[in-house]
Chain A
């Protein structure tokens, strides 16, 4: 894992000094509220419904135990004892005091963390596959590249006042777990016919009120050209992107209005101009970063204890079947810790839970943790012989919910309970759906299903790319929930299709149950997933179940 060097530490210290000074200058009137706002946002500080909110970056979702412990300490000391992990691999604290924020930033800097560019019209925290460096299906670890992008984008002088926010996601696996096609720039690590490493570069993806799937701007970009190419894209966008209308300012609209061919031509021309700025030093830096991401020293040990526990303990077996993913090293597994306990707030973890997860990573997990965009925590390197002990510790910390990838593993935005933009509640809807399917005992029978809920059209809950998406709106003062089906966030990303009129707050869970019962009745076999069934039979049976009374009663 990347360790901050003297330069990084000095940079952070000076940046925190600047922010302390900016807070003071806001108070003495040197900075107007208008001027202070983007400065506080580019340091991760939002003004929300109840209070300030501090969003801390977890670059490419990678943490060690020291960082996780510090996050827990901050939650305890300066917040209300918990933090909220987000869909962009950040953690949010919902109750910091403005006067204490500089101290929190200093505490983060102690462990090489920060809140820089987690907000504002800047290049945001770079996200990556949360199984990076562990997944069996990986071509290359995307994190060194993501770290290089973090360094390049941090405090980039040209790009701190872009038309709008700008998000970059990287995946090193053909099975996209990083939703790269929904990013302003998506990078897929590939090899060309000659076997040379490089990227497929996509641009103009996004969710929000105008969901767009990113388009390929360069089919193969040699590895060494990455930074000048990114700089060309963002440079073109900075001048071409619209600034007259906030809702038309994202690069997805720039691409849509100008066409990908025109954008490509402009980017390629700009790229040729920018390329000489990079002499190759960046590749040396990348080499140093890569060395720090060398795989840990995996052990080889018998897995008899695992096999025995798996055979004997149905709860453990259930957790293993649901929450483990295949690891590239023999005898190892990737263990996901669900932050979606039925009835709890998706993505929340208490300070104590953070400490437990840190301890487990340190004791059993080569000191690594990940945060997934699905708002769960991952122990990427656990030897199977340690899994029974890990599971037991998780159970005692109320972290052993076995529902990864199932219907109750819901992505939900904070909704109207916390967010000033939201027009409807999201968390209570998620809680009720999770509770319903737990009570029905259908979760495992239903199998893999991505249910995603947003509390307004800004789509922070990724509802467009959920197999089932729920969008909460405000219709004349009443919450109304629209349902989309068939969305998908992976390498063959698709925007879900809207079914029809929305449902009232107290009708949503019933509607979801009708959809699920239709799937269970229509699937060709238990092996056919919801998404496959939907693709095979189309919308009609689901619409009938949702809106046709007779069908429902029959």
Chain B
């Protein structure tokens, strides 16, 4: 019974109610920053953590926190069903904002194996899935804290319409909602003014972002949270509980269930592997070379045996940021090698000019890269002989 973990017994005790009332009275006329800044140091609030989904609007609260105390623990619940974009965004934000203590919370393996062994629970019982992957792990992670900071706002729906800065969460824990009084335009303005990076899915029609299977895009004019658990009588995952009880808002959702839009749209036609790039564009390998000498990027060019005069030397680029291959090519040319010289691996179109100027004749790339950076992008850089400071300083 995963719900058991949510069952805080009855009303908060009187002392807790008095504490909440006192906190709300003391902070009544404060703004978000002041509430957050002071609550973090307020003995009555105790030890706080920020719980963030790293979703559509999370960056606002995370940024506020990073300005005040970036060592505050931040809990991020990885349900293991999140969009890859969310995971990447989580990493990016943590790095950009220099958050020092981001803790990734996951369901434990045993519970997962028992309750959702094949990862399909969400298809037949979304509540149970939320409890297993979000609510229970979070409750466990919150055990060491006196309270947690959330980004919830009054405008987000009827259950949140009377949200205060402080509310109780069970008999002893509190929730702090610094953004309670913010309007949607405040959120937008804050993000604009601070040039904060947006979750990449927002631009693709997801104003509220949860797990991939249960989040779909929202059409213009729809409630921003309409894409969450679309078609179900469910609008909260269960981690936000009012006065110790799970309250699930029931907004009638009449739209049919729709799948999330595929992330990689309009994929170009597949390209046969490998692709050889020259000044004239893409081609297949002509396999004309009788012998090929493959050199790693850690090769000492002075030690390469050129006596065997292979028809083709390929120099490996394990990563586009490893620029050793350019110097190896130049040094082989300086040693007098006049055969074909090919850069092979992760070379991007923007480096084509560098490769040609360093002495390479051609570049060999994978079909994947050729798909992502099609021929036109390479041909854009095929005019490698113009605008070249080097040739001006060397030729007569």
Nearest chain A CB to B322 CB, angstrom units = 6
Cα distance A75–B348 when bound, in Å? 34
Is there contact, CB below 8 Å, between A151 and B195? no
Q: Which of A15, A47, A97 has the most CB of B within 10 A?
A: A47
Query: Is A39 located at the chain interface by the 8 A CB criterion?
Result: yes
Query: Is B330 located at the chain interface by the 8 A CB criterion?
Result: yes
Given A22-B350, A52-B195, A152-B389, A281:B373 Cβ within 8 A: no
Is there contact, CB below 8 Å, between A157 and B393? no
In the complex, the chain A residue whose C-beta lies closest to that of B95 is A420
5-45 of chain A: CB within 8 A of chain B: 7, 10-11, 14-15, 18, 21-22, 25, 29-31, 33, 35, 38-39
370-396 of chain B: CB within 8 A of chain A: 372-374, 377, 380-381, 386-390, 392-396
In the complex, the chain B residue whose C-beta lies closest to that of A274 is B334
CB-based A-B contact count at 8 angstroms? 129
Is there contact, CB below 8 Å, between B390 and A156? yes
Query: Is A235 located at the chain interface by the 8 A CB criterion?
Result: yes
Contacts of B357 in A (CB 8 A): 157
Q: Mark A275-308, 1 if CB is under 8 A from B, else 0.
A: 0011101100100000000000000000000000
Cα distance A278–B334 when bound, in Å? 13
In the complex, the chain A residue whose C-beta lies closest to that of B329 is A158
Is there contact, CB below 8 Å, between B387 and A11? yes
Query: Is B158 located at the chain interface by the 8 A CB criterion?
Result: no
Is there contact, CB below 8 Å, between A158 and B393? no
Choice from B323, B324, B372 contacting A160 with Cβ under 8 Å: B323
Is there contact, CB below 8 Å, between B195 and A97? yes
Nearest chain A CB to B231 CB, angstrom units = 30
Is there contact, CB below 8 Å, between A238 and B393? no
Is there contact, CB below 8 Å, between A161 and B322? yes
Contacts of A501 in B (CB 8 A): none
Chain B interface, number of residues (Cβ within 8 angstroms): 51
Contacts of A235 in B (CB 8 A): 327, 330-331
140-181 of chain A: CB within 8 A of chain B: 148, 151-152, 154-162
Query: Is A389 located at the chain interface by the 8 A CB criterion?
Result: no
Given A7-B392, A18-B350, A281-B394, A47:B96 Cβ within 8 A: yes
298-342 of chain A: CB within 8 A of chain B: none
Contacts of A158 in B (CB 8 A): 323, 326-327, 330, 354, 358
Contacts of A159 in B (CB 8 A): 323, 326
Query: Is B338 located at the chain interface by the 8 A CB criterion?
Result: no
Q: Which of A7, A35, A49, A97 has the most CB of B within 10 A?
A: A35
Q: Mark B326-355, 1 if CB is under 8 A from A, else 0.
A: 111011001100000000000011110111
Contacts of A420 in B (CB 8 A): 95-98
Is there contact, CB below 8 Å, between A239 and B324? yes
Cα distance A47–B95 when bound, in Å? 11
In the complex, the chain A residue whose C-beta lies closest to that of B318 is A243
Query: Is B308 located at the chain interface by the 8 A CB criterion?
Result: no
Is there contact, CB below 8 Å, between A238 and B327? yes
Is there contact, CB below 8 Å, between B323 and A161? yes
Query: Is B280 located at the chain interface by the 8 A CB criterion?
Result: no
Is there contact, CB below 8 Å, between B321 and A161? yes
Is there contact, CB below 8 Å, between A227 and B393? yes
Cα distance A158–B354 when bound, in Å? 7
Choice from B328, B348, B372 contacting A29 with Cβ under 8 Å: B372
Q: Mark B220-259, 1 if CB is under 8 A from A, else 0.
A: 0000000000000000000000000000000000000000
Nearest chain B CB to A328 CB, angstrom units = 30
Kindly state the interface size class of chain A when it binds its partner.
35 or more
Nearest chain B CB to A50 CB, angstrom units = 6
Given A35-B320, A243-B322, A155:B389 Cβ within 8 A: yes
In the complex, the chain B residue whose C-beta lies closest to that of A37 is B321
Nearest chain A CB to B304 CB, angstrom units = 12
Query: Is B28 located at the chain interface by the 8 A CB criterion?
Result: no
Contacts of A152 in B (CB 8 A): 389-390, 393
Contacts of B395 in A (CB 8 A): 279, 281
Query: Is B123 located at the chain interface by the 8 A CB criterion?
Result: no
Contacts of A52 in B (CB 8 A): 195
Given A151-B393, A158-B358, A38:B321 Cβ within 8 A: yes
Choice from A161, A243, A273, A282 contacting B334 with Cβ under 8 Å: A273
Query: Is A442 located at the chain interface by the 8 A CB criterion?
Result: no
Q: Mark A411-440, 1 if CB is under 8 A from B, else 0.
A: 000000000100000000000000000000
Is there contact, CB below 8 Å, between B324 and A49? no
Query: Is B284 located at the chain interface by the 8 A CB criterion?
Result: no
Query: Is A195 located at the chain interface by the 8 A CB criterion?
Result: no
Is there contact, CB below 8 Å, between A157 and B358? yes
515-548 of chain A: CB within 8 A of chain B: none
In the complex, the chain B residue whose C-beta lies closest to that of A150 is B389
Given A277-B394, A281-B395, A160:B354 Cβ within 8 A: yes
Is there contact, CB below 8 Å, between A238 and B324? yes
Cα distance A52–B300 when bound, in Å? 39
Cα distance A477–B72 when bound, in Å? 10
Contacts of A121 in B (CB 8 A): 321, 323
Query: Is A505 located at the chain interface by the 8 A CB criterion?
Result: no
Cα distance A148–B393 when bound, in Å? 9
60-76 of chain B: CB within 8 A of chain A: 66, 69, 71
Cα distance A155–B353 when bound, in Å? 10
Cα distance A278–B331 when bound, in Å? 15
Cα distance A243–B319 when bound, in Å? 11
In the complex, the chain B residue whose C-beta lies closest to that of A22 is B350
In the complex, the chain A residue whose C-beta lies closest to that of B354 is A157
Contacts of A477 in B (CB 8 A): 69, 71, 100
Q: Mark A99-132, 1 if CB is under 8 A from B, else 0.
A: 0000000000000000000000100000000000
Choice from B323, B374, B392 contacting A238 with Cβ under 8 Å: B323
Is there contact, CB below 8 Å, between A285 and B392? yes
Contacts of B320 in A (CB 8 A): 35, 38, 161
Query: Is A219 located at the chain interface by the 8 A CB criterion?
Result: no
Query: Is A95 located at the chain interface by the 8 A CB criterion?
Result: yes
Nearest chain A CB to B73 CB, angstrom units = 12
Cα distance A227–B389 when bound, in Å? 13
- The 6 nearest A-B residue pairs measured at CB: A161-B323, A51-B195, A157-B357, A157-B354, A158-B326, A282-B393
Can you list 9 contacts pairing A with B, beta carbon distance less than 8 Å?
A10-B386, A25-B373, A50-B194, A158-B327, A160-B351, A238-B326, A239-B324, A239-B327, A239-B328
* Known interface pairs A227-B393, A477-B100; 18 further A-B residue pairs with C-beta atoms within 8 A, sorted by A's residue number: A21-B380, A31-B350, A35-B348, A47-B96, A51-B195, A151-B393, A152-B389, A155-B388, A156-B390, A157-B355, A157-B358, A158-B326, A158-B327, A160-B323, A238-B324, A239-B301, A279-B396, A282-B394
